[in-house]
Structure 1
């Protein structure tokens, strides 16, 4: 709405191109864009009614940019991911069309019963950081942008069994388009994939016409048409990365909502003003420190330079040598780059120094045994000492234990501690992240979460770092975190239940990988012990519901134990979409 007002365009017309309102459904490439010169030329030769009916131009309103010599309001129109794509195309169109199809296909009574099952499936999806819980399904009064984003993440597995295959494919390609557009780094390859997803989506969305949901087609839907222009927007403005036209709304979040959340909610105005003042002072201090050069380098490099200045004297110390790498700092993996070596040979790449790190909670839990056999009995894994022995063998030997060889005895362990959580920090610039694109999330493995049921999260574990996507990863469910010392070395570990893919490719309909929990020959869970460095981050598994009927009293905490197979949800967030394809 904001865009058509500032551009003086008739409602339901495209603000970017002069495509007629009756032809908005046609997929075209290289559409001509509106320009100020073209609009003025039309205004000189056409009357007001002709401009309105034929070109969608409101001649009575002059855009504010007309008096600016180098600004064209039409060239400044960028995409609006939230309102055009997520809340518009997905929530107001696709979700409503699926609901309409189910009612048309099955009738009012059966159709509402199916939607009741879909709501229960949405409510049964396991918890995940940043994912809005749908305890009552999708039937609530006021939808926010976060609600629409949350529904998009889990919608496909919930409805796949109730809609035709082509309808599933249409939703799949549209979601692929959304997540590709949202990436913080865009290349020609990404833009080509975006265009391909749009083409496939417009091909498969015809199912809504043939089934009677949209018998009139899509010509009167400018929100659907707006997706055509995103490849052009990316080439024109760069990565959208969550761009929304409601800039004032985002400023309101920063200046009002976030300070209010930080207050104690009692007489919050003074607290909010104080928070804003402190935030401004911190920003000003950072700019001042940057101008003074106080944020350059590190404490280690500064201390080394001061030491060398005292030892050699200022005249003998050439600061350029320090910058050129004569005194290299230790790398994150603990190995310094040798003098004269090529950093590229050691795998150095542009970007943050640490792509991922997992660390245990600060405090261990006290109510657990301090010996390995007793701890295994406590967790129902009596062969835990054997698992730890195999783990230690892998850690201390370059080659794995040969098949059929007996497991070596577990050496004595010291300082055995159990933890209920670990923190994963990883590079995820496409999601909400801090300076440098780093994001942090907590992995839980606790027998009681907020005095309620147990919570054992799933994770991505590294399998083969040379293979891209999920083929180079494992899915696993953490049973507990623990650490111990052996031979003077501390080992932070996780006891996990392995999951394996059911096929060599993702599911053709949904585009999601399907995994199943592993069991041994005695039908017992197949456990393993891995180092914390093998864990990449949290994984979100959604049950493959199939024809199952979810009872009304089904609890969300039961989902990871009640089904045989699970989707690896790459739509949980944008980082998951980049690694779980």
Structure 2
């Protein structure tokens, strides 16, 4: 079945184009004066490359109905009309409209050739390499500098640093918006028993923190974020007029906060900066005394979600909260629990004090574009898992910290909790009634009650990692499936089926970025990454071993999980979210009717799914507020500094390490903004030679880059700007392959390779022919004698902000096609190929296996190609149980797989196929490299990653 893959349709089209003016009567907020607002084009579901959209400012607006708006003819953005982030000077005076951004000025006042406190660029790069990137121990660094000095042959030549102390001195000398560590001590102030008081009553608890105002001003002044920040709340609408939610400032909460702020005329034109907090206890050592820390992080809602997720200085370590401990005799003591809760809220209130003035009176602050703006702060979402959510909201365990639904019936009726509601109930009922009937811990008010416009019940962020992935999926659904097997089968049969599920998971073909479960699910301790990896392969493994309704329940849940994980969510996505949640609730009863779950479904983590639609409307895409951000931050801020410490009184050493790492990051931003890091790091002599050569030998006119210029990068995020997706061959051809087509055909066991190339060339040379080459006589096709270069891999780069990606949202995957993968069997990855980008999902795609990646030159044109074996769908619709499409190999009349040569430009990215196992058991010691040949049908895995989920639906 030949496919026409001559041209590759654009994967998405940049919608930036003409702009239509918006003529609208401005809304009067509380009787205030009218102000201007601005609109500019916005992207549809996939944001465009980071070009500067043209903003149209409406200065003279005719009187009219507030709801009248001219049709814009395309996607648009509506900015808040009053809290609009108007640029000003340092004296808070508004700048004229369209004032150009000022040139960057270093916070140190240094010019463009001042590397202080380093001698030059190599010294800075070496310090960064040794202290930050490789984390070289002090003794090794001293040895390195000694050997470096001994290797110098000219008198006076010295290494950039004498020893480790010199490196430390340079790092400590960096003073760019420095935020030194502070501390305060807290202790129990209640009545202490005269005889044998509990140790926790006598202890002092130290809390270390940095000034949150300084950290936020450093984030807001970072020139790296100039294209990744919102200076005002905005509402985004697509071409159909439907609302979209993406970055935090596109949510309703930011807009409503701006409305409240605008009630004070002194705030007009200010920039609203939501303060995003996050905390999560983490254990760094289990075997040596259960050493754990409670880090507190701070970010701001003005920067875009992808910046916060990429950890490019958009999330800062704010402090370490105290962890009161006691022995088992007092662990459940009511007084101890009350003190622990009060200590947390008192600590947070104390740490955030420097932000309080700026929550009502704007502060002039430099922004990433170089302009000053009047910034007004407000407490925003708090990122925390469920145990910390109930602690922060002073809610009883097993109750919802957001609503008043009873813990025995969490899916029943309930209203939004609030500080006002809590105060009202506290005045009416005693502590026992509040605890039992309302789930309120009355002795402590949450810390947010001490700050303007803040209510913790409103600010708890949605938690994808702990509530959905680790909570509902791993702890609930996977456990219930195991319980079902024990209920429905004898112990021997249940064990055999469970072992086969593990073998099925282990038999999944290799895929970029997919964790391979070589031993199934035999992990003693599961991490969040383990649970995420299991989600990607679990559904096909249980299909055939459990009832269809059980498969459908988990499929609906996975649909919900992947929908909420998208970086751009529109009204249609929210409707799909409701549909998935409805299907999940309707089908999960199978666990109860089969006896796998006898306790009902009043579970806080599953109940939280009901709040996700509302929270998306309030805070926009949840992936910008997920606890995976704080968990990932633990590695750099807590775990690695702890490993670098002496492990004795390690916290002080960890604080210093974090400060030095922040200094390095700040210095890099400063040097880059001054243009001092442009180009490679070379010596002055080499730079002079390059400059002289450029003058005498100017570069030739630009020519199109060869299609085999991709470097051999690994899979993962791609830094840099957003670009259209592309697939390119590896940089170097593979060795050992014949160069002539006849010999190569024999080597790869594809006898008709030459004819396939000739038919491919006919289609390339005759793109408008009504008769494809597959229906032509082979003699009508061009004769081919060119030499062929074979490649082991190709690199696919595409825009997928929902997955792990760089700030620009770009991700890369390597497509492998090798005769031996890591000294073992062959690996031939599967790929998606563009068929018709006007058709949605799998209806617009082909699926094939990349048998050979190669290129050749014909008539002075280089053709990057792939020899593929096709797969065809077994039905016109996805499988009703798993929701995934099923494909089978396309076979010719001889029963052999149909092959074709296609242009690499028609390839979209990798595709992941998982066998349809049915009811058969996987043989013992089955090698996953045989999966694509041993089975007759395959699921197209739409859960392999989030890009695939949006592509292969």
Q: Same fold (TM over 0.5)?
A: yes
Counterpart of 1:324 in structure 2 is none
Q: Of Structure 1 and Structure 2, which has the larger fraction of its residues in helix?
A: 1
Counterpart of 1:340 in structure 2 is none
Using the TM superposition, give the Cα deviation of residue 453 of structure 1 relative to its aligned residue in structure 2, in angstroms: 1.3
Within 5 Å, which residues of 2 pair with 1:92-241?
A: 92-219=475-602, 221-241=603-623
Q: Deviations over 1:211-259 (max 9, x none)?
A: 122233112x111111100001101111011633476533222335689
The answer on whether the counterparts of 1:364 and 1:418 sit within 8 Å (CA) in structure 2 is yes
* Aligned counterpart in structure 2 of residue 405 of structure 1, from 769, 772, 776: 776
TM-score (norm 1): 0.84
The answer on whether the counterparts of 2:740 and 2:787 sit within 8 Å (CA) in structure 1 is no
Using the TM superposition, give the Cα deviation of residue 280 of structure 1 relative to its aligned residue in structure 2, in angstroms: 5.3
* Aligned counterpart in structure 2 of residue 535 of structure 1, from 903, 907, 912: 907
Counterpart of 2:741 in structure 1 is 372
What is the RMSD of the two structures over their aligned residues, measured on CA atoms? 2.9
Question: In 1, Cα distance between the equivalents of 2:557 and 2:740?
Answer: 53
The answer on whether the counterparts of 2:786 and 2:858 sit within 8 Å (CA) in structure 1 is yes
Secondary structure, counterpart of 1:478 in structure 2? strand
The answer on whether the counterparts of 2:725 and 2:797 sit within 8 Å (CA) in structure 1 is yes
TM-score (norm 2): 0.52
Counterpart of 2:865 in structure 1 is 493
* Aligned counterpart in structure 2 of residue 429 of structure 1, from 782, 795, 801: 801
Using the TM superposition, give the Cα deviation of residue 423 of structure 1 relative to its aligned residue in structure 2, in angstroms: 0.5
Question: In 2, Cα distance between the equivalents of 1:333 and 1:449?
Answer: 27
Using the TM superposition, give the Cα deviation of residue 275 of structure 1 relative to its aligned residue in structure 2, in angstroms: 11
Are positions 1:384 and 2:753 aligned together? Answer: yes
Counterpart of 1:345 in structure 2 is none
Counterpart of 2:830 in structure 1 is 458
Question: In 2, Cα distance between the equivalents of 1:229 and 1:333?
Answer: 51
Are positions 1:7 and 2:378 aligned together? Answer: no
Question: In 2, Cα distance between the equivalents of 1:43 and 1:369?
Answer: 83
Question: In 1, Cα distance between the equivalents of 2:643 and 2:893?
Answer: 52
The answer on whether the counterparts of 1:18 and 1:33 sit within 8 Å (CA) in structure 2 is yes
Question: In 2, Cα distance between the equivalents of 1:538 and 1:436?
Answer: 21
The answer on whether the counterparts of 1:25 and 1:224 sit within 8 Å (CA) in structure 2 is no
Q: Deviations over 1:27-82 (max 9, x none)?
A: x6xx5211110001111111100000011010122212221132111111111111
The answer on whether the counterparts of 1:391 and 1:530 sit within 8 Å (CA) in structure 2 is yes
The answer on whether the counterparts of 2:734 and 2:792 sit within 8 Å (CA) in structure 1 is yes
Question: In 2, Cα distance between the equivalents of 1:468 and 1:548?
Answer: 33
Using the TM superposition, give the Cα deviation of residue 413 of structure 1 relative to its aligned residue in structure 2, in angstroms: 4.0
Seen in structure 2, the aligned counterparts of structure 1 residues 411 and 562 have a Cα distance that, compared at 3 Å, is same
Secondary structure, counterpart of 1:547 in structure 2? coil
Counterpart of 2:469 in structure 1 is 86
Using the TM superposition, give the Cα deviation of residue 189 of structure 1 relative to its aligned residue in structure 2, in angstroms: 1.2
Secondary structure, counterpart of 2:901 in structure 1? strand
Q: Deviations over 1:476-524 (max 9, x none)?
A: 1011110000000000101111111111111111100000111111112
Using the TM superposition, give the Cα deviation of residue 398 of structure 1 relative to its aligned residue in structure 2, in angstroms: 2.0
Within 5 Å, which residues of 2 pair with 1:354-369?
A: 354-369=723-738
Seen in structure 2, the aligned counterparts of structure 1 residues 247 and 375 have a Cα distance that, compared at 3 Å, is closer
Question: In 2, Cα distance between the equivalents of 1:509 and 1:524?
Answer: 30
Question: In 2, Cα distance between the equivalents of 1:19 and 1:462?
Answer: 48
Seen in structure 2, the aligned counterparts of structure 1 residues 333 and 553 have a Cα distance that, compared at 3 Å, is closer
Within 5 Å, which residues of 2 pair with 1:305-344?
A: none
Seen in structure 2, the aligned counterparts of structure 1 residues 144 and 505 have a Cα distance that, compared at 3 Å, is same
Using the TM superposition, give the Cα deviation of residue 191 of structure 1 relative to its aligned residue in structure 2, in angstroms: 1.0
Question: In 2, Cα distance between the equivalents of 1:565 and 1:435?
Answer: 38
The answer on whether the counterparts of 1:497 and 1:526 sit within 8 Å (CA) in structure 2 is yes
The answer on whether the counterparts of 2:787 and 2:856 sit within 8 Å (CA) in structure 1 is yes
The answer on whether the counterparts of 1:458 and 1:477 sit within 8 Å (CA) in structure 2 is yes
Seen in structure 2, the aligned counterparts of structure 1 residues 451 and 275 have a Cα distance that, compared at 3 Å, is farther
* Aligned counterpart in structure 2 of residue 36 of structure 1, from 388, 399, 419: 419
Seen in structure 2, the aligned counterparts of structure 1 residues 293 and 462 have a Cα distance that, compared at 3 Å, is farther
Counterpart of 1:16 in structure 2 is 402
Question: In 2, Cα distance between the equivalents of 1:466 and 1:65?
Answer: 49
Q: Deviations over 1:171-230 (max 9, x none)?
A: 1110000000000011111111111111111111111111122233112x1111111000
Question: In 2, Cα distance between the equivalents of 1:160 and 1:77?
Answer: 36
Within 5 Å, which residues of 2 pair with 1:413-424?
A: 413-424=785-796
Question: In 2, Cα distance between the equivalents of 1:421 and 1:244?
Answer: 34
Seen in structure 2, the aligned counterparts of structure 1 residues 371 and 330 have a Cα distance that, compared at 3 Å, is closer
Using the TM superposition, give the Cα deviation of residue 412 of structure 1 relative to its aligned residue in structure 2, in angstroms: 3.7
Counterpart of 1:319 in structure 2 is none
Secondary structure, counterpart of 1:417 in structure 2? strand
* Aligned counterpart in structure 2 of residue 565 of structure 1, from 937, 945, 950: 937
* Aligned counterpart in structure 1 of residue 626 of structure 2, from 234, 237, 244: 244
For the pair shown, the structure with the greater C-alpha radius of gyration is 2
Q: Deviations over 1:516-574 (max 9, x none)?
A: 11111111221110111111000000000012221112111111110000000000000
* Aligned counterpart in structure 2 of residue 468 of structure 1, from 837, 840, 848: 840
Using the TM superposition, give the Cα deviation of residue 409 of structure 1 relative to its aligned residue in structure 2, in angstroms: 4.4
Within 5 Å, which residues of 2 pair with 1:45-64?
A: 45-64=428-447
**Equivalent residue pairs, number:** 522
Alignment gaps of 5+ in structure 2: 1-386, 645-652, 679-701, 708-719
Seen in structure 2, the aligned counterparts of structure 1 residues 64 and 472 have a Cα distance that, compared at 3 Å, is same
Alignment gaps of 5+ in structure 1: 263-269, 296-328, 335-350
Using the TM superposition, give the Cα deviation of residue 365 of structure 1 relative to its aligned residue in structure 2, in angstroms: 1.4
Seen in structure 2, the aligned counterparts of structure 1 residues 204 and 557 have a Cα distance that, compared at 3 Å, is same
Question: In 2, Cα distance between the equivalents of 1:159 and 1:258?
Answer: 38
Using the TM superposition, give the Cα deviation of residue 577 of structure 1 relative to its aligned residue in structure 2, in angstroms: 0.2
Are positions 1:481 and 2:853 aligned together? Answer: yes
Are positions 1:510 and 2:882 aligned together? Answer: yes
Are positions 1:443 and 2:829 aligned together? Answer: no
The answer on whether the counterparts of 1:418 and 1:483 sit within 8 Å (CA) in structure 2 is yes
Using the TM superposition, give the Cα deviation of residue 293 of structure 1 relative to its aligned residue in structure 2, in angstroms: 13
The answer on whether the counterparts of 1:413 and 1:484 sit within 8 Å (CA) in structure 2 is no
The answer on whether the counterparts of 1:82 and 1:242 sit within 8 Å (CA) in structure 2 is no
The answer on whether the counterparts of 2:722 and 2:808 sit within 8 Å (CA) in structure 1 is no
Seen in structure 2, the aligned counterparts of structure 1 residues 465 and 245 have a Cα distance that, compared at 3 Å, is closer
Secondary structure, counterpart of 2:888 in structure 1? strand
The answer on whether the counterparts of 2:722 and 2:810 sit within 8 Å (CA) in structure 1 is no
Seen in structure 2, the aligned counterparts of structure 1 residues 331 and 511 have a Cα distance that, compared at 3 Å, is farther
Secondary structure, counterpart of 1:22 in structure 2? coil
Seen in structure 2, the aligned counterparts of structure 1 residues 9 and 260 have a Cα distance that, compared at 3 Å, is closer
